[in-house]
Amino acid sequence: MILAALLLSSTAVPGQAAVVDPFENDVEAFEAEVSEELDLTELSLEALMNMDAEVTSVSRHAESLASSAAAAYVLTEEDIRRSGATSIMEALRMVPGLQVARTGSSAWAISARGFNAEFADKMLVLIDGRSVYTQLFAGTLWADQDLMLEDVARIEVIRGPGAALWGANAVNGVINIITKPAEQTQGNLATLLLGQEDKWIAGLRAGAPLGDSGFVRAYSKYARRDGFEAEGLEVDEGWSNTRGGFRADWTVDDNDAFTLQGDVYSGVVPRQVTVPETTPPGLVTRDLDSLSEGGNLLGRWTRSGDDGTSLSLQLYYDRRELETYLLEDRRDTVDLDFQHRALVTERHDLTWGLGYRRVHADTFGSDVLSFAEAHRTDDVLSAFVQDRIHMTETVDLIVGTKLEHNSFTGFEVQPNVRVVWQQDEQRALWGSISRAVRTPSQVTNDVAWRQALIPDMGSGFDTLITVLGDDDFDSEELVASELGYRIQLTENLSLDVATFFNDYRDLQTLELGELSFLAPGLVEQALVYDNEAEAETYGVEIATQWNVTGDWTLHASYSLLRLDIDASDSTNAQAEVPEDESPRNQAHIRSFYDLTETWELDAALYYVDHLSGGVDSYVRGDIRVGWNPNDSTRFSIGAQGLLHDDEEEFGTGPFGPSTPVESSVFVSAVWSF
């Protein structure tokens, strides 16, 4: 896939020298490093397209992309920089088969292989091994993940189940955001972006040695973004996010290393939401200014043996607070993870681990939304094992499973079987069968949410529609079959194809519940969460990279998705609506062109098929011009969302219709000193 750019990631390919980005180190450190390392311009095109680039998310340890038995894709720091993306979320548009739809100025719907939503509940998101998936509503609050892009080494995306290693909720995929070691961010760095929608984004980072065997960095970032306008709603106040943090890495000896890192953040998101009232007119629009803040602290010890064995022990604490008109939620997470890899024999590469997570939540509702348990503590105990068996010199069989016990549904078993045939250095065929589950959220378990008030239609009663959780709600289940092929067609051209067939059981539905009399002329109709739907999805994802010349690289992708939901056992006529909330066809092409040694011209086109709710198919264009006058300074000017101004990218979300997405122009500068 992005094989040329993979050599620019922070992890060096075995047998090759690491490539250093001058803008991630101070000038003196960069010049010293270049004198010792191989210059990028000295690499042949064949080396730039080498499939031996590393990926860590497939097996929870480094392996070559060519030998991985999964639909893996890697966005490198160079991809992110040259795309002109101003956030992690916008950068993810480049991943083949991943649907990225902006539902509002501060909200995104991001998932793979169907069932996308603003809170996509089947996509597990990690940052440096720390889960940012919340069990409150089952999904990721993307506005809180506004990392400093210059600190991101790469983003690894696994399309398809990753539950056998990563656990529950890694159903349709895993997004793993990996930041750079402190050693790669030495010196000082300042960034500034001014734009039409991204009003201004400023960052400052400082890195320094820490004793004789360590390095540390600290950073701060502030972002102020404009809102999107929608008919009948005033949502143009914009939103802001402030964050800061640090990372320290020590090399204790030749085998032991330790990492300590942490972040704090605070964000304010103005928004409006339509909520029911028990008196006419029944619905009223209220401001939903959301305050989200929190912090985390992570420590990780690793030991690597000369024989390929390794140990790691990771512990993190995460604190999140969310305050809106609808609810206030405070939750504390403690997560402990142990992993051991051992080369048992020449044929068996065994990885196993144990984990424990405790989440304590205090959740307070409102007159619209409440929870049966305002205070709850949930525990997850887990263990996993995976054995990579070298059947022959070219064929590996991978078998493993994740065992989990959670507070909602008890024991869950999530096995997988994978096989990869490495025909030669240029060709690999792989296949897999996996089981994954999406466990209940606090919402599906015990919420009471007043959704709408329907005026009297001749029955003599107004009807209040209320969604209720059910503590008997089961986990959603997926059994997935995948087949993929990677080939280096020429020294300049690579192709990656993945196909899949997914069989879902016990999918979430809302079923008719009891009808209750609340007051004279007012009744309440309950809708209760249940598991009354099944579905099948299948499709193909194609990605290719072509180094046209030494100065010009093209990336292209196409994905086809078919989704068929069977809700014949459901009482809900809307249960099959998600069939049309994922695009059947998506395609993109992007170009990175070095005009001169100091000037860059980068552009991209994205096509997304139509969705339900009147969301038409669209073509989106991005363009960027970069000027790098010296090793310590770079400038960019660009535009995003061209050809697609003031159009929606998604249908109705949990708080009402999506707002139209507006195009934007920006200028940015980065200085290292």
Mean pLDDT of 613-620: 89
Percentage, residues of the chain above pLDDT 90: 69
pLDDT at residue 456, rounded to an integer: 79
Dihedral sign, Cα of residue 652, residue 653, residue 654, residue 657: negative
Structurally, the chain folds into a number of domains equal to: 1
Q: Residue 49 and residue 71: Cα distance in Å, rounded?
A: 18
Structure-model confidence comparison of residues 597 and 279, the more confident one: 597
CB of 219 within 8 A of CB of 204?
yes
Please report which confidence band the pLDDT of residue 326 belongs to, taking 50, 70 and 90 as the band edges.
confident
* The Cα angle at residue 34 between residues 33 and 40, in degrees rounded to 5: 130
- In degrees and rounded to multiples of 5, residue 81 shows phi and psi of -60, -50
Beta partners for 156? 74, 176
Mean pLDDT of 236-254: 89
Looking at residue 236, which CATH number applies to its domain? Answer: 2.40.170.20
- For the stretch 330-342, pLDDT in tens is 999 999 999 999 9
* 3-state DSSP assignment of residue 513: strand
What DSSP string describes 6-74? HTTSSSPPTTSPPPPPGGGS-HHHHHHHHHHS--GGGS-HHHHT-TT-EE-TTTSS-EEGGG--SEEEE
Quick check: 188 pLDDT over 70? yes
Quick check: 242 pLDDT over 70? yes
- DSSP assigned state of 539: E
Quick check: 283 pLDDT over 70? no
pLDDT at residue 40, rounded to an integer: 31
**Helix and strand element counts for the chain (H, E):** 7, 38
Structure-model confidence comparison of residues 296 and 107, the more confident one: 296
Range of the domain at 481: 3-672
pLDDT at residue 8, rounded to an integer: 31
Comparing C-alpha atoms, which of 337, 289, 290 is closest to residue 315? 337
Please report which confidence band the pLDDT of residue 15 belongs to, taking 50, 70 and 90 as the band edges.
very low
Distance from the Cα of residue 546 to its chain's centroid: 26
Q: Please classify residue 265 by burial: count the beta carbons closer than 10 Å to its beta carbon, then call 0-12 exposed, 13-18 middle and 19+ buried.
A: buried
Strands 462-468 and 522-549: parallel
Please report which confidence band the pLDDT of residue 51 belongs to, taking 50, 70 and 90 as the band edges.
low
Q: In 128-186, at which residue ranges do the beta strands (DSSP E only) sit? A: 130-131, 152-159, 173-179
Mean pLDDT of 156-183: 95
- For the stretch 417-475, pLDDT in tens is 999 999 988 899 999 999 999 999 999 999 998 888 888 777 788 888 899 999 999 99
String of b and e for 551-570 (b: at least 16 CB within 10 Å)?
A: eebebbbbbbbebebebeeb
CB of 434 within 8 A of CB of 163?
yes
pLDDT at residue 645, rounded to an integer: 79
Q: Residue 171 and residue 437: Cα distance in Å, rounded?
A: 6
pLDDT at residue 575, rounded to an integer: 87
pLDDT at residue 366, rounded to an integer: 86
pLDDT at residue 186, rounded to an integer: 97
Average pLDDT, the chain: 87
Distance from the Cα of residue 170 to its chain's centroid: 11
Strands 107-112 and 173-179: unpaired
Tell me if the pTM is above 0.95.
no
Give residue for tokens 């994905």: 559
The contacts of residue 315 (CB under 8 Å, 6+ apart) are 298, 299, 300, 334, 335, 336, 337
- In degrees and rounded to multiples of 5, residue 235 shows phi and psi of -125, 30
Quick check: 249 pLDDT over 80? yes
- Specify the amino acid at residue 337: D
pLDDT at residue 23, rounded to an integer: 35
Tell me the two tokens of residue 520: 């004279």
The contacts of residue 601 (CB under 8 Å, 6+ apart) are 591, 593, 595, 624, 625, 626
Comparing C-alpha atoms, which of 406, 403, 369 is closest to residue 286? 369
Quick check: 661 pLDDT over 50? yes
Please report which confidence band the pLDDT of residue 655 belongs to, taking 50, 70 and 90 as the band edges.
low
- In degrees and rounded to multiples of 5, residue 577 shows phi and psi of -60, -40
Quick check: 107 pLDDT over 80? yes
Please report which confidence band the pLDDT of residue 484 belongs to, taking 50, 70 and 90 as the band edges.
very high
CB of 303 within 8 A of CB of 265?
no
